[in-house]
Amino acid sequence: MDKKHKDILNKLDSNSTGFTIPEGYFDDLENSLSQKVLSNELSDNKKALNQLHIIRPNELKTNRKETGFKVPENYLEQFETEFDKSLEAKTANGKALRIRLVSMSVAASILLFFGIQFMNKGQQNASQVVLQNEEIASWVAEDLVTFDTYDIAEAFSDVELDQTLYADEAVNDYLDYIDIESLILEN
Amino acid sequence: MLDEEVLIVKLKDPLTREASFRTLISTHKERLYWHIRKIVLNHEDTDDVLQNTFMKVFKHIDGFKGESKLFSWMYRIATNEALSFLNKKAKHAGTDIQSFGEQRVENLEADTYFDGDEIQLQLQRAIAKLPQKQQLVFNMRYFDALKYEDMSDILETSVGALKASYHHARKKIELYFKNEL
């Protein structure tokens, strides 16, 4: 290789590439670029939020426009935890209430059944028996006595239930209405 | 704390992020522009790639661990963005990045923003014929006069390999001139 070609890179001005730029291109580049970048970032955040359909508390804080409304400190951060706790408590109360109502219904039905049995045996104490049964049913309804089906079964161990007393249709209607799982769990 | 470290802290703080990002652009815009320009060659594409570079920088600044200089990290992002831009364009044109680069050099003569003489145009043709990595090494060393240590940080290549690469690139360009002139 001759010296002329070997030295060509040394002779060339390495600071000059021949490339030029539009006049004033660099003058306001930081403003135009930062505006573009920041607006793109904001638009990316909005897109992500729309895709998720979730607004996280921190993002809400950063992106919201000022309205003058305020919330207690850490309210949004703790909202999910508090909401879960409250939901759990409500579910537990609802379940307990449903179980208690079922127990009361069963107890009242059995008491009413024995009442009718007594009435059929003799008319002499009929009014007294009916009155007593009504009182008992009222106590149960008002939740003034607490006992379960085991207590009742123990108290009336010598009584045999008449299988023909309830029509199949009535039993089916009752089973449709009642939550069987609750009965099993309770009894 | 060094200026760069202070700037990084400010960039990561949402309260000072926007203002410090302007400072960052202001400090590095020209060097990054010219680095990208020598890879993609025309002004409009360089402008696009420069914007993408700063967007990536802004988006990932929280993940910047400071293991390299901020400048090196940005240079690396700019290089990747420029190469990925060219790869996409080449794929779209149904060709590889090497052939695509050589085709683009031929557009320089008609480019409003290129006023180089015949030698400078020939130099761009010679560079376009180099393998991609040698093109990067040659541009960074010959035009930007970057230190090999900085180049090593940016290109994640050993200093020895970079020196060899630059040497080969120079030889090939000199040979090109010998054959063409």
Same domain, B121 and B108: no
Please, what sign has the CA dihedral across residues B59, B62, B66, B67? negative
Q: What is the distance between the alpha carbons of residues A127 and A123, in angstroms, rounded to a whole number?
A: 8
Q: What is the distance between the alpha carbons of residues B65 and B72, in angstroms, rounded to a whole number?
A: 13
Same domain, B85 and B12: yes
What was the pLDDT predicted at B136? Answer: 96
In chain A, which residue's Cα lies nearest the Cα of B55? A37
Q: What is the distance between the alpha carbons of residues B155 and B136, in angstroms, rounded to a whole number?
A: 9
Same domain, B71 and B146: no
In chain A, which residue's Cα lies nearest the Cα of B22? A30
CB contact under 8 Å between A20 and B113, yes or no, is yes
Residues 143 to 162 of A: which have CB under 8 A from any B CB? none
CB contact under 8 Å between A40 and B55, yes or no, is yes
Q: What is the distance between the alpha carbons of residues A97 and A99, in angstroms, rounded to a whole number?
A: 5
Chain B residues with CB under 8 Å of A31 CB are 22
Nearest to A5 among B124, B143, B181 (CB): B181
Per the CB < 8 A criterion, the answer to whether B97 and B132 are in contact is: yes
Same domain, B97 and B152: no
Same domain, B74 and B121: no
User: Touching check for A48 and chain B: CB below 8 Å?
Assistant: no
What HEC string does B41-54 produce? Answer: CCHHHHHHHHHHHH
Q: CATH no. for residue B157?
A: 1.10.10.10
**pLDDT tens-place values along chain B, 181 residues long:** 568 888 999 998 888 988 899 889 989 999 999 999 999 999 999 999 999 999 999 999 999 988 889 999 999 999 999 999 999 999 999 999 989 999 999 999 889 899 888 889 999 999 999 999 999 999 999 999 999 999 999 999 999 999 999 999 999 999 999 888 7
Per the CB < 8 A criterion, the answer to whether B136 and B79 are in contact is: yes
Q: Distance of CA B48 to CAs A24, A140, B40, B85, B126, Å?
A: 17, 81, 10, 9, 25
Instruction: Transcribe A3-23 into DSSP letters.
Output: HHHHTHHHHS-TT--SB---T
Please state the ipTM of this predicted complex: 0.79
- Go through A64-82 and write b for each residue having 16 or more CB atoms within 10 A of its CB, e for each that does not: eeeeeeeeeeeeeeeeeee
Closest CA relative to residue B71, chosen from B15, B122, B5: B5
Same domain, B5 and B53: yes
Identify from B29, B40, B109, B179 which residue to disrupt to test chain A contact, counting A C-beta atoms within 10 A and taking the largest count: B29
Same domain, B140 and B106: no
CB contact under 8 Å between B143 and A14, yes or no, is yes
Same domain, B136 and B159: yes
Nearest to B55 among A8, A37, A62 (CB): A37
Closest CA relative to residue A138, chosen from A114, A110, A104: A104
Identify from A3, A17, A31 which residue to disrupt to test chain B contact, counting B C-beta atoms within 10 A and taking the largest count: A17
Same domain, B10 and B26: yes
What is the distance between the terminal CA atoms of chain B, rounded to a whole angstrom?
54
Closest CA relative to residue B98, chosen from B87, B106, B85, B113: B87
- C-beta neighbour count of B70 within 10 angstroms: 19
Q: Distance of CA B98 to CAs A47, B9, B77, Å?
A: 37, 40, 20
- Give the domain-ending residue among B115, B136, B159: B115
- C-beta neighbour count of A125 within 10 angstroms: 13
Residue type, B21: F
Same domain, B54 and B125: no
Domain containing B28 equals 1-115
- Give the domain-ending residue among B65, B86, B115: B115
Torsion of CA B52, B58, B59, B62, to 10 degrees: 150
Per the CB < 8 A criterion, the answer to whether B98 and B133 are in contact is: no
Chain B residues with CB under 8 Å of A37 CB are 21, 51, 54-55, 58
Identify from B104, B120, B134 which residue to disrupt to test chain A contact, counting A C-beta atoms within 10 A and taking the largest count: B120
> What are the pLDDT digits (tens) for B56-82?
999 999 999 888 899 999 999 999 999
Same domain, B142 and B167: yes
Identify from B10, B22, B140 which residue to disrupt to test chain A contact, counting A C-beta atoms within 10 A and taking the largest count: B22
Chain position carrying tokens 């580049």: A29
**pLDDT tens-place values along chain A, 187 residues long:** 556 666 777 777 767 788 999 888 888 888 888 888 777 776 666 665 555 444 444 444 444 333 445 545 654 555 445 655 655 665 566 667 777 777 788 888 888 887 777 776 655 555 555 556 677 677 666 666 666 666 767 777 776 666 555 667 776 776 676 666 655 554 4
Same domain, B34 and B87: yes
Counted domains in chain B: 2
- C-beta neighbour count of B100 within 10 angstroms: 18
Nearest to A33 among B51, B124, B175 (CB): B51
In chain A, which residue's Cα lies nearest the Cα of B116? A18
Helix (H, G, I), strand (E, B) or coil at B103: helix
- Give the domain-ending residue among B115, B139, B155: B115
Helix (H, G, I), strand (E, B) or coil at B157: coil
CB contact under 8 Å between A33 and B54, yes or no, is yes
Q: CATH no. for residue B66?
A: 1.10.1740.10
User: Residue B69: left (phi > 0), alpha (psi -120 to 50), or beta?
Assistant: beta
